[in-house]
Chain A
Amino acid sequence: MSYAYLFKYIIIGDTGVGKSCLLLQFTDKRFQPVHDLTIGVEFGARMITIDGKQIKLQIWDTAGQEAFRSITRSYYRGAAGALLVYDITRRDTFNHLTTWLEDARQHSNSNMVIMLIGNKSDLESRREVKKEEGEAFAREHGLVFMETSAKTAANVEEAFINTAREIYEKIQEGVFDINNEANGIKLGPQHLPSNANTPSGGASASQGGACC
């Protein structure tokens, strides 16, 4: 299926916060109460529409355990967007956000759009992190914030789509070099590079053929 842009995303955060469930809800519109552990990385994709343009989201879901951090770091590099997820019912997953954020900022391209997500918002009775705390953290670190529930699908679409919208706006402003795939953005097969003022050199983004 044809698309105007392809955006690469990465989902990061502590183990058990619901990263894989968010992805499954977004790509398959279903919820699995006990999701199998992610060892290494897993992958999902979906097409969305922004500003009348078809955009393919290529999403990499990563293992949350510290031991795998050195491996998943290599996925930050080619990502245009990141969903940084914590569990609103587990305070420790919120406390670790700073480490995750430092890691993401250090290993990604500086324009990467980061969306902070407080997941499991359906479990209000077990809430340990107030919504205001998430908002404050996001404000302090310049992130977009949302509370989601992979179980009820609340805000899941919005989280992925709003991130894409931010990336799209950055492209319009000329912040992203769309001719360099290392930024996590790729032009669709039929959309040849048209931006003449982008710095030259490097691989052409348009290779044609099927792409995931």
Chain B
Amino acid sequence: MFVYSVFLLRIKLLHQLKETGVSSEEIQHHQYYNQVVLDVKRILKCFPPGINENIQADLQVKVTELIIRVLIANEGLHYYQGFHDIAITLLLVLGEEKSYSVLCRLSQSHFQLFMGPDMEPTMEILNLVYALVKNENRDLYNYLIRSELGTIFCLPWAITWFGHVLNDYETVVRLFDVFMFSHPWISMYLSNVVVLHRASDIFLTPCKMPLLHQMLSNVPDNLPFDSLITETEKLMRTYPPDVMETVVREMHAENIRKIKEEDEERKRRMEQRKAALQGKHTKAAIERWTPWSGFRNLRSQTAKVVALSVSVATFSFIYNYVRPNIEIF
């Protein structure tokens, strides 16, 4: 069933592309074509509730086309999972052609940061959340740092403009309206405001990374987003992006340095443990092959030296005096 519907989706898509003037070969050979087709099949959650099944299938075809066209027009930008959440929201509001122009434009400005070969640059800027919490609520900052929560919990918030995490379509569209006309980092500023707003929930959660990650990952749909947006704008004026950039980059460099240090410490401990285990094995092997077990039990150093001297003397005596008299040697 799944394969069949993906197949139908592709056929429909190729048929439509002929009409829009984009070569189907160009589309089919695009490095992200298969990925986008698969991902688009999974975005049912993003569709408004109660939407007709046929319309849904049609939208799936259109959003795939939209994404590939934008990628073709912006060579060098990479598709990431979550970009399709953005595309579907724009398509639903603006229709095919307008959404294409807007998504193209936004990919060059707002989404460019997320569309590199990997998410490393995004992770660097996500430190903004911590930099701002540190300025606004020091206790909360200390709590989050102590829990080793990291920033990955708000990655989907930032790169999908909350489209992946909120179920309420009206709220998502409202946020898109604001984000589109603001600085590209606004989704990260809002992420910070959401964290600050949920401070009391955070303090009620044990200071453990998994628990906090899980709690924060579930963004309630009923947050007062209008007032949070006002807060976000205020915060952007107090701590403008160009001022915060240096702080954020320094934080990231510090994080990388810490990770490297921890890695080295971990490797050192593992080597130490390996050596300790090997030592244990060697000792066991020596014990297994020591001919006179009583020798092993001699505790004092002097006793060992005496025992060794006696052994050597006995052997020398046998070798020099007994051996010449015995034919067998």
- Interface of A with B (CB < 8 Å)? 15-16, 34-37, 39-43, 45, 58, 63, 65-71, 74, 77, 109-111, 126, 174-175, 177, 180, 182, 197-199, 201-202, 209-212
Q: Residues 70-85 of chain B: 1 if any A CB is under 8 Å from the residue's CB, otherwise 0?
A: 0000000011111000
Chain B, Cβ-Cβ closest to A107: B263
A19 to B214, CA, bound (A): 18
Q: Is B41 an interface residue (CB 8 A)?
A: yes
Which listed segment binds A: B21-29, B57-65, B150-158, B168-176? Answer: B150-158
Q: Which A residues are in CB contact (< 8 Å) with B273?
A: 177, 198-199
Main secondary structure of the interface of A (DSSP, over half): loop
B269 to A67, Cβ gap below 8 A?
no
B119 to A77, Cβ gap below 8 A?
no
Q: Looking at the complex, which one of B3, B82, B152 makes contact with A71 (CB distance below 8 Å)?
A: B152
Would you list 16 pairs from A and B whose C-beta atoms are within 8 A, ordered by A residue? A16-B38, A34-B41, A36-B164, A37-B164, A39-B156, A39-B159, A40-B153, A40-B155, A65-B35, A110-B270, A126-B3, A177-B270, A198-B273, A202-B265, A211-B206, A212-B208
| Residues in B14-48 with C-beta less than 8 Å from chain A | 35, 38-39, 41-45
B259 to A67, Cβ gap below 8 A?
no
Q: Which A residues are in CB contact (< 8 Å) with B263?
A: 77
Main secondary structure of the interface of B (DSSP, over half): helix
Q: Which A residues are in CB contact (< 8 Å) with B277?
A: 174-175
Chain A CB count within 10 A is highest, among B44, B78, B123, B156, for: B156
Q: Which A residues are in CB contact (< 8 Å) with B150?
A: 74
A74 to B265, CA, bound (A): 15
Question: Which 9 A/B pairs are nearest by Cβ-Cβ distance?
Answer: A39-B156, A40-B155, A212-B210, A70-B118, A67-B80, A212-B211, A40-B152, A65-B81, A199-B272
A36 to B42, Cβ gap below 8 A?
yes
Chain A nearest CB from B7 CB (Å) reads 13
Chain A nearest CB from B327 CB (Å) reads 53
A65 to B276, CA, bound (A): 40
Q: Which A residues are in CB contact (< 8 Å) with B41?
A: 34
Chain A nearest CB from B320 CB (Å) reads 46
Q: Which B residues are in CB contact (< 8 Å) with A174?
A: 277
A34 to B42, Cβ gap below 8 A?
yes
A180 to B269, Cβ gap below 8 A?
yes
B206 to A197, Cβ gap below 8 A?
no
Q: Looking at the complex, which one of B80, B120, B160, B217 makes contact with A42 (CB distance below 8 Å)?
A: B217
Chain B, Cβ-Cβ closest to A67: B80
Q: Number of contacts between A and B (CB, 8 Å)?
A: 103
A39 to B81, Cβ gap below 8 A?
yes
Chain A nearest CB from B189 CB (Å) reads 19
Q: Is B117 an interface residue (CB 8 A)?
A: yes
B276 to A74, Cβ gap below 8 A?
no
Chain A, Cβ-Cβ closest to B213: A43
B270 to A109, Cβ gap below 8 A?
yes
Q: Looking at the complex, which one of B3, B156, B266 makes contact with A77 (CB distance below 8 Å)?
A: B266
Q: Is B226 an interface residue (CB 8 A)?
A: no
Q: Which A residues are in CB contact (< 8 Å) with B78?
A: 67
A201 to B268, CA, bound (A): 12
B155 to A67, Cβ gap below 8 A?
no
B206 to A63, Cβ gap below 8 A?
no
A209 to B205, CA, bound (A): 12
Chain A, Cβ-Cβ closest to B259: A74
A15 to B150, CA, bound (A): 23
Chain B nearest CB from A111 CB (Å) reads 8
Q: Which A residues are in CB contact (< 8 Å) with B79?
A: 67
Chain B nearest CB from A55 CB (Å) reads 16
Q: Which A residues are in CB contact (< 8 Å) with B214?
A: 43, 212
A71 to B82, CA, bound (A): 15
Q: Which B residues are in CB contact (< 8 Å) with A16?
A: 38
Q: Is B287 an interface residue (CB 8 A)?
A: no
Q: Which B residues are in CB contact (< 8 Å) with A63?
A: 81
Chain B, Cβ-Cβ closest to A176: B273
A60 to B204, CA, bound (A): 23
| Residues in B208-254 with C-beta less than 8 Å from chain A | 208, 210-211, 213-214, 217
Q: Is B262 an interface residue (CB 8 A)?
A: yes
Chain B, Cβ-Cβ closest to A8: B210
Chain A nearest CB from B269 CB (Å) reads 6
Chain A CB count within 10 A is highest, among B81, B211, B270, for: B81
B210 to A70, Cβ gap below 8 A?
no
Q: Which A residues are in CB contact (< 8 Å) with B211?
A: 212
A171 to B208, CA, bound (A): 24
A209 to B211, CA, bound (A): 13
A25 to B109, CA, bound (A): 41
A36 to B208, CA, bound (A): 25
Chain A CB count within 10 A is highest, among B35, B120, B159, B266, for: B266
19 other contacts beyond A177-B270, A197-B280, with CB at 8 A cut-off?
A15-B38, A15-B81, A34-B41, A36-B42, A37-B39, A40-B155, A41-B152, A43-B213, A65-B35, A66-B118, A67-B119, A69-B118, A70-B118, A70-B123, A77-B266, A126-B3, A180-B269, A182-B262, A209-B206
